[in-house]
């Protein structure tokens, strides 16, 4: 029977449990319980599930003394390197997306009001609630890479307001350059440009003739066609 000289997998499980659980207080929709429970199960599985197979002896606390500081540092550096390497493609192919940040509430409800930088996959959006508290909307990937995404949003890709409340009225801000947009946003922009170009002559003719009803109908048709095309190409 082989002996587990260093409780490596135990430490991995503990690190995962502690690391991910640090970010379980970022939203209000039950993810806290899900992540905590999931990591407890992972931790327990690593410690106990493999033991009945007879390949690992129950480790003793004294075995921790066999792990040197150098091994801990090297292991941590290796794990952090893998973490950064896995995030690189998400960062390289990320971009700005129009998101709701809670800063603009013309009717009391938050609407899409700012361009927030997002990784290629994952969601990590700062959000100001109606109760005047700051939180984040995240999914699993966004939560996993939360520290790195926040650093990019703060120092390299700051949020760009789109709907701006001036106190008396509101105005529309400028879009970020096309090349800085998220691939998904670029796709939607190209679809919208294509549909608008197809109906441009008819819309210009309706405006020139002063037929407001026809122009309004054309705009509605254009909007619906864009929505259908976006869903068909998603």
Dihedral angle computed from the Cα positions of residues 126, 131, 132 and 134, in that order, rounded to the nearest 10 degrees: -30
pLDDT digit string, tens, across residues 125-148: 999 998 889 999 998 888 889 999
Question: Does the pLDDT of residue 7 top 70, yes or no?
Answer: no
Helix (H, G, I), strand (E, B) or coil at 173: coil
Question: Does the pLDDT of residue 67 top 50, yes or no?
Answer: yes
For residue 136, the model assigns a pLDDT of 92
For residue 25, the model assigns a pLDDT of 44
pLDDT digit string, tens, across residues 183-206: 999 999 999 999 999 999 999 998
Q: Label residue 119 exposed, middle or buried (CB < 10 Å: 0-12, 13-18, 19+).
A: buried
pLDDT digit string, tens, across residues 92-105: 999 999 999 988 88
Domain segments of the chain: what residues? 8-67, 96-178, 183-232
3 confidence band (pLDDT: 50, 70, 90) = very low
Of all residues in the chain, the percent with pLDDT exceeding 90 is 41
pTM of the model: 0.69
CA nearest to 15, candidates 78, 104, 100, 106: 78
Q: Mention every residue, 6+ apart, whose C-beta is less than 8 A from residue 191.
A: 226, 229, 230, 233
pLDDT digit string, tens, across residues 28-62: 444 445 555 555 555 565 555 455 544 444 445 55
Of 61-65, 81-85, 201-205, the range with the lowest mean pLDDT is: 61-65
Question: Does the pLDDT of residue 19 top 90, yes or no?
Answer: no
CA nearest to 117, candidates 62, 174, 176: 176
Q: How many CB atoms lie within 10 A of CB 13?
A: 20
Highest mean pLDDT among 16-25, 165-174, 178-187: 178-187
6 confidence band (pLDDT: 50, 70, 90) = very low
């Amino acid at each position: 029977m082989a002996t587990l000289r260093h409780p490596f997998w135990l430490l991995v499980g503990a690190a995962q449990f502690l690391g991910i659980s640090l970010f379980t207080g970022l939203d209000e929709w039950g993810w806290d319980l899900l992540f905590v429970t999931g990591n407890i199960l992972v931790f327990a599985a690593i410690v106990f599930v493999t033991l009945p197979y007879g390949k690992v002896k129950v480790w003793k606390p004294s075995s921790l003394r066999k792990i040197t500081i150098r091994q801990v540092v090297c292991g941590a550096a290796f794990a952090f390197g893998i973490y950064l390497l896995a995030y690189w493609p998400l960062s390289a192919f990320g971009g700005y997306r129009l998101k709701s940040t809670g800063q603009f509430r013309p009717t009391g409800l938050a609407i899409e009001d700012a361009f927030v930088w997002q990784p290629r996959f994952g969601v990590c959006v700062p959000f100001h609630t109606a109760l005047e508290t700051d939180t984040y909307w995240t999914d699993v990937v966004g939560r996993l890479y939360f520290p790195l995404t926040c650093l990019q949003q703060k120092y390299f890709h700051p949020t760009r307001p789109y709907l701006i409340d001036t106190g008396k009225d509101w105005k529309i801000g400028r879009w970020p350059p096309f090349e800085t947009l998220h691939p998904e946003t670029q796709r939607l922009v190209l679809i919208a440009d294509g549909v608008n170009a197809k109906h441009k002559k008819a819309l210009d003719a309706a405006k020139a003739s002063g037929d407001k009803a026809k122009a309004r109908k054309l705009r509605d048709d254009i909007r619906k066609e864009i929505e259908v095309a976006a869903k068909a190409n998603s």
